[in-house]
Chain A
Amino acid sequence: MRQIRAEIGAVSKADGSAIFEMGNTKVIAAVYGPREVQNRSQQMSDQTLVRCEYSMANFSTGDRMRKPKGGDRRSTEISLVIRQTVEACILTHLMPRSQIDIYVQVLQADGGTRSACINAATLAFADAGIPMRDLVTSCSVGYLHSTPLLDLNYVEHSAGGPDVTVGILPKLDKVTLLQMDSKLPIDILENVMQLSTEGCKAIANYIREILLENAKQLEYRRGV
């Protein structure tokens, strides 16, 4: 697994925010909410409305890309994936008739952006104080030359082997996200899932340390 680094509270204006780095992939997530629903027709009387937007900066990939901000299909798909993953772990019934917005911006892309986004989102939600069942952590696993590989970067990703992205709730041991492309023999799948679960648990430990550190800082500043 690549080196991970996280920072809480990057955007002071947001209710919660975090920067998450996995190797060269760097992602910033900001949470605004719970707040009043902007679009009355979407309001839900028994739970909160979660909205997500994923976008990549112009300079995030090697070749500079110019693409429409909200329009392209990959962004829409990843926004949907993040939203569903995160909705599964937030206690949405505690905040009815409200809206939570999560905005994820990719600053540097080097493979595993989906996973970095979900990890950043978890940290941002924790920073915002939104009640959750458990942390959601995610990492990607590939299979090249008969070896399962944890946390692929862009070069390994383009090599053409399968790419499995897994998101789990580590304490509850439940899978919330599973996406795979290309082909993989079924007996290898179990190995790959095992590896990804270990990877996710390692990330979860790191996230817990960061949150503990943050809580100690807040305690210190409050003079406790």
Chain B
Amino acid sequence: MVGLSLGEQCFIEGGIAQDLRCDGRRRLTYRPIHVETGVIPQANGSARVRIGATEVIVSVKAELGKPSLMQPDKGNVSIYIDCSSTAEPAFEGRGADWLSADLSNALQRCLLGAKSGAGAGIDRSSLVVIEGKICWDLYIDGLVISSDGNLLDALGAAIKAALSNTGIPKVQIAAGASSDEQPEVDVSDEEFMQFDTSGVPVIITLTKIGKHYIVDATPEEESQMSSAVSISINRQGHVCGVTKRGGVGIDPTVILQMVSAAKHVSEQLINKLDSEIASAEAEDES
């Protein structure tokens, strides 16, 4: 997608080897991040995140549904990403289907944990209303408006921000319903329960170019990558999911180094995100 001359390619690789990227950043520095919450009034929660020129909007909608038979004490969460054609002419029609599917799957892996529900970043048991009968279904929809590299990190940050903005309505259960009838529930319009996001991880993508790896790659840098590893880490420093992309193999010790570098970067990123989200919410309320 990005056409680079041989001179430009050498320049990028050489610069990264000397810890100086084309826009003056160091290898492990992010571009400026802006967060706005509450951008979609009809959704339960929403956020718009801009990292450099990459812009994404995420909305969270909650609807009442039935929990799955295998996990009756947990609610359902589904993540779906769409790449708008405004981001890239190549995304027109079905052009972005593979990228949308790739991003959706990577996010599901990082945030929702294993099939049995263990180790999920998002706490699904807080979504249950009546065990085995009624639970909240959370639909997390992401839209990529402008694509300038590092979509996965932006989407991860936006999902975290949207979830902290999400209010799940309080539910009154009608008393006296028998155990096999469908109970009546009364969804409150006034009272909301804030979703707990302290355990939600952020995603850090490390792109390997030459012998070094960088964080937050631009499209030019991404076109030069040999491989990329996306690691999702939560506040406690636990790794919640790993995705490797790219055809070139990486030595296992290098991967462990990348994971520890990601842990180091994640502390700063989580702090930055939390302060941005807090100021966005404060602005939203004022």
Q: Which of B42-78 contact A (CB under 8 A)?
A: 42-43, 46, 53, 55, 57, 59, 61, 63
Judge if B10 is at the interface, Cβ distance under 8 Å. Answer: no
Asked if A107 contacts B57 (CB within 8 A), the reply is yes
User: A58 to B42, alpha carbons, bound, how many Å?
Assistant: 12
Asked if A59 contacts B46 (CB within 8 A), the reply is yes
Assuming the A-B contacts A58-B80, A59-B61, A70-B93, are A53 and B85 also in contact, with contact meaning beta carbons closer than 8 angstroms in the complex? yes
Task: Give chain B residues whose Cβ lies under 8 Å from the Cβ of A91.
Answer: none
Task: Give chain A residues whose Cβ lies under 8 Å from the Cβ of B63.
Answer: 64
B261: min CB distance to chain A, Å: 29
- Contact partner of B86 among A24, A103, A108, CB < 8 A? A103
Assuming the A-B contacts A13-B87, A24-B41, are A58 and B145 also in contact, with contact meaning beta carbons closer than 8 angstroms in the complex? no
Judge if B40 is at the interface, Cβ distance under 8 Å. Answer: yes
Judge if B141 is at the interface, Cβ distance under 8 Å. Answer: yes
Task: Give chain B residues whose Cβ lies under 8 Å from the Cβ of A61.
Answer: 42
Judge if B24 is at the interface, Cβ distance under 8 Å. Answer: no
Asked if B143 contacts A58 (CB within 8 A), the reply is yes
Asked if A103 contacts B92 (CB within 8 A), the reply is yes
Interface size on B, residues (CB 8 A): 29
Judge if A101 is at the interface, Cβ distance under 8 Å. Answer: yes
User: A66 to B61, alpha carbons, bound, how many Å?
Assistant: 13
- Contact partner of B94 among A70, A101, A105, CB < 8 A? A70
Judge if B146 is at the interface, Cβ distance under 8 Å. Answer: yes
User: A222 to B163, alpha carbons, bound, how many Å?
Assistant: 41
Task: Give chain A residues whose Cβ lies under 8 Å from the Cβ of B88.
Answer: 13
User: A13 to B52, alpha carbons, bound, how many Å?
Assistant: 11
A171: min CB distance to chain B, Å: 28
B positions within 8 Å CB-CB of A: 40-43, 46, 53, 55, 57, 59, 61, 63, 80, 82, 84-89, 92-94, 139, 141, 143, 145-148
A positions within 8 Å CB-CB of B: 10-14, 17, 24, 28-30, 32, 53, 55, 57-59, 61-62, 64, 66, 69-70, 101, 103-105, 107-108
